Amino acid sequence: MIKTDGIILKSRKYRESDFLLTIFTRKIGKINAIAKGAQRPKSPLISGVQPFCYSEFLLFKGKSLYTVTQCEAKEIFYSLREDIERLTYAAYIVQLVESVTNEGQTNNRLFNLLGKTLYILTNPDTEINTVIRGFEIQFLDYCGFKPELYRCVSCGTKESSSWRFSAQEGGLICKKCLNIDPYAMQITVHTLKLARYLQIKDIKDIQNLKISDYLNEKLQKLLKQYILVHINKYDFKGMNIINKL
């Protein structure tokens, strides 16, 4: 038996009355678990196994699946379900986390980042664009794909009259090294400063920082390309809906 906090990444109906869950736990990483009878209206499990829920679980490890024997919801993030934009962003960041986490491998920094970000998104005064850009850039760091934002990835120089950003090479390219990736994207001084700031600040400290639509668009374009290259996933439903919004 294992007792651990966890966040529901996926919750799918299974058989007549069960839920099949993908849970990102603090102690044992990502797991698949079955919550027996959780579809029943009077089930004591039902409130804690909904998508996005942050709950405390008591788990029994079976041969192929864990079984949720007890579940106490700590935060259900109900307000996310009342706003289509916030719901879509929440689904997007959960999909990002689900795509990079491995079964049984813990990642407490990423766990904390996801929990904080979901909580922040419930605040109607939150600057959503700032928080999502901050989540993306810190997510890349915590899952091992941190972009280099302080020196050229080719020659190592910290000084250049202009910079390019290469998703393929993993970060900045100086003016002298453009030949290693002719398709590297331009990055302005202001966009670079914003990216560096978001990379090091706690997600709670940037939730009220308003950035211009122009800067958000430029940084979003760079990070989207970087995520697509390094996470090797091109069909995030959340990302497609966000682009339409």
pLDDT tens digit string along 106-126? 999 999 999 999 999 999 999
At the topology level, CATH places domain 79-147+181-244 in: de novo design (two linked rop proteins) (1.20.1440)
Residue 234 has pLDDT above 60, yes or no: no
pLDDT at 239: 63
Judge contact between 221 and 214, C-beta under 8 A.
no
Judge contact between 230 and 223, C-beta under 8 A.
no
Question: Percent of the chain, pLDDT > 90?
Answer: 81
* Domain range list for the chain: 2-76, 79-147+181-244
Enter the tokens of residue 201: 């600040």
pTM here is 0.92
Enter the tokens of residue 187: 């990055």
pLDDT at 15: 85
Q: What is the mean pLDDT of the chain?
A: 92
The separation between CA 124 and the C-alpha centre of its own chain, rounded to angstroms, equals 20
pLDDT at 59: 96
Residue 142 has pLDDT above 90, yes or no: yes
Q: Which amino acid is at 149?
A: L
Is the domain spanning 2-76 CATH 3.20.20.140? The answer is no
Judge contact between 27 and 4, C-beta under 8 A.
yes
pLDDT at 41: 86
Mean pLDDT of 84-97: 92
Residue 233 has pLDDT above 90, yes or no: no
Over residues 27-74, the pLDDT tens digits come to: 999 999 999 998 898 899 988 999 999 999 999 998 889 999 999 999
Q: Answer whether 2-76 and 79-147+181-244 agree in fold.
A: no
Sequential DSSP letters for 123-174: -TTS-HHHHHHHHHHHHHHHTT-PPB-SS-TTT--S--SSEEEETTTTEEEE
Of 75, 76, 118, 112, which is closest to residue 93 (Cα–Cα)?
118
